[in-house]
Amino acid sequence: MNDRPAMEPAAFTAPRILTLGVGSSGVQAVAHMCRQNPGLDAVVIDTDKKVLEACGMEKIIHVGATVTNGFSAGGDVELGRQSIEKDSSSIRNQLRQADLLVVVAGLGGGTGSGALPVITRIAREAGTLILCMVTMPFSFEGKPVARKAEDALKKLRTHADAIVRIPNEVLVDRADSELPAEQVFSRSQAVMQDAVFALWRMLSQNGIYGLDFACLQTMLRNCDGFCHFASADAEGAERGDAVASAILSHRLLKKGKVLEIASGVMVGLIGGPDLKLSEIETVMNRIHEKLPDDTWVNFGVIVDPAFQNRLSAIVLVAEQWKEPLMDDAGRQMGFTFNRRLSSEQGELSLETAGKGRFAHVDPTIHDNQDLDVPTYIRRDIKLPR
Ligand SMILES: Nc1nc2c(ncn2[C@@H]2O[C@H](COP(=O)(O)OP(=O)(O)OP(=O)(O)O)[C@@H](O)[C@H]2O)c(=O)[nH]1
Ligand SMILES: [Mg+2]
């Protein structure tokens, strides 16, 4: 007889998800999320003291006091960058122990566009998984603002594992022109809120069907920089079909076209105690029908009593998939590049490793630059492949 004591399963430890709201619209979006869900671990960062004082958040980081004197960066990206560099140690402190960093901002202004590339660089050095949720400007904001947002996006891509772009313009249509502006403006906020809440729920609660941090990590680290996100919610007897139809025709998934070429998809479903297997099958089967045969798919299901008679789904989609290069011994190599784009002349997408056990050592700062960061990253040099 085996009289060894039975092994206790390891206790479930939820990963620490830290949400950062950066720049005025990022601050407002995250403050709104925290009012809806006080359990979120969140910090807001801005140059604009007035915005921080009015947001009602507990954890606030005011940056660039000596750069903008407590005002905004006034649309100047360089001022936004300098402001965050000057106060980078407070950001570093916040990132300690975070497993997943979700950064929320509107690109096109000075603070968010200037600060995000710096924040993601710091998080990358600490080895944190980084997801950015950013809005892209309305077309009425003009070309210079659009250019600023695109430039910021390029820089952001160097360090962020995945970026979800939410084009403000895509969320409005002609029929909306008579609606109150506030209502239309808050749509992108609602998208970001759905994404953050759903990820938080999926990763911090023990689901009946697993979708864990490792799955999210696979998705974000392999998605070649950009992901698409959509969510849907329905009530009543036909909720499975209604949620599937809403996802398949979602504007942020280009009315389903994104699914037709997807390389990786993650689906999270939340239902009440009355959730039926047939509802899960309906949503998953209808999504599968749209996908190419070899798409990497992962899904999770959570039951929450607040979702009685209701079904909610989030979908994270990677259009492009990059596979890590392996050496002869099957070890992952440092540089990876995109499988589908490999025939084109382009830039090498570089993966920087975290600093491992040096992650919490003070950086070597000279002339406002962190010398522990490789030169090609500090200077934003792209290596041709
Ligand atoms: N949907 C939506 N987008 C917004 C709103 N406010 C700002 N944005 C978008 O976010 C972009 C950046 O704006 P802010 O966040 O105010 O800018 P900032 O990062 O604080 O930069 P500075 O104010 O220049 O320091 C804008 O170009 C808009 O596209 C809003 O209320 N709703
Ligand atoms: Mg501002």
**Residue owning the nearest CA to atom 10 of ligand 1:** 106
**Is the CB of 75 within 6 Å of ligand 1?**
yes
* pLDDT single digits (tens) 254-305: 999 999 999 999 999 999 999 999 999 999 999 999 999 989 999 999 999 9
pLDDT at site 166: 94
**Residue owning the nearest CA to atom 31 of ligand 1:** 185
Which DSSP string corresponds to 76-143?
-HHHHHHHHHHTHHHHHHHHTT-SEEEEEEEBTBSHHHHHHHHHHHHHHHTT-EEEEEEEE--GGG-H
> Which residues have CB less than 5 Å away from ligand 2 (the ion)?
24, 48, 72
pLDDT at site 364: 58
**Is the CB of 83 within 6 Å of ligand 1?**
no
Cα–Cα distance for residue pair 244/269, rounded to 1 Å: 11
- The DSSP code for 247 is H
Q: Which atom of ligand 1 is nearest to the CA of 189?
A: 1
**Is the CB of 225 within 6 Å of ligand 1?**
no
Residue that has been written with the tokens 């891509």 in this structure: 157
Q: How far is the CA of 123 from the centre of ligand 1 (A)?
A: 23
**Residue owning the nearest CA to atom 1 of ligand 1:** 185
Per domain, the residue ranges of the chain are 17-203, 222-318
**Is the CB of 21 within 6 Å of ligand 1?**
no
Element (H, E) at 267: strand 264-271
**From the CA of 73, which ligand is nearest?**
1
Q: How far is the CA of 163 from the centre of ligand 1 (A)?
A: 17
Q: Which atom of ligand 1 is nearest to the CA of 108?
A: 27
Could you count the other beta carbons within 10 Å of the beta carbon of residue 191? 21
Residue that has been written with the tokens 């960093």 in this structure: 101
Taken as a whole, the chain contains a residue count of 385
List the beta strands (DSSP E) in 153-205.
162-167
Block mean pLDDT (10 aa), the chain, length 385: 62 86 97 93 98 97 97 98 95 89 97 97 93 95 97 94 93 80 86 88 76 86 91 96 96 94 94 95 96 91 93 93 58 34 34 38 55 53 42
**From the CA of 110, which ligand is nearest?**
1
Q: Which atom of ligand 1 is nearest to the CA of 145?
A: 27
Ligand 1 pocket test target in 61, 135, 153, 156 with most atoms within 8 Å of CB: 135
3 state DSSP class of 24? helix
Reading the block at residue 19, the tokens are 């949400």
- The CATH architecture of the domain made up of 222-318 is 2-Layer Sandwich (3.30)
**Is the CB of 263 within 6 Å of ligand 1?**
no
**Is the CB of 300 within 6 Å of ligand 1?**
no
pLDDT at site 173: 77
Q: How far is the CA of 49 from the centre of ligand 1 (A)?
A: 15
Cα–Cα distance for residue pair 102/104, rounded to 1 Å: 6
Q: Which fold has domain 17-203?
A: Rossmann fold (3.40.50)
Q: The whole model's pTM is what?
A: 0.82
**Is the CB of 94 within 6 Å of ligand 1?**
no
pLDDT at site 350: 37
**Is the CB of 168 within 6 Å of ligand 1?**
yes
**Is the CB of 114 within 6 Å of ligand 1?**
no
Looking at the DSSP bridge assignments, the partners of residue 46 are 62
Q: Which is nearest to 317 in space by CA: 216, 228, 251, 250?
A: 228
Cα–Cα distance for residue pair 35/46, rounded to 1 Å: 19
pLDDT at site 348: 36
**Residue owning the nearest CA to atom 5 of ligand 1:** 25
**Is the CB of 25 within 6 Å of ligand 1?**
yes
Cα–Cα distance for residue pair 299/40, rounded to 1 Å: 23
Q: How far is the CA of 107 from the centre of ligand 1 (A)?
A: 7
Cα–Cα distance for residue pair 90/83, rounded to 1 Å: 12
**Is the CB of 117 within 6 Å of ligand 1?**
no
Looking at the DSSP bridge assignments, the partners of residue 320 are none
β-pairing verdict for 322-326 and 332-338: antiparallel
**Is the CB of 68 within 6 Å of ligand 1?**
no
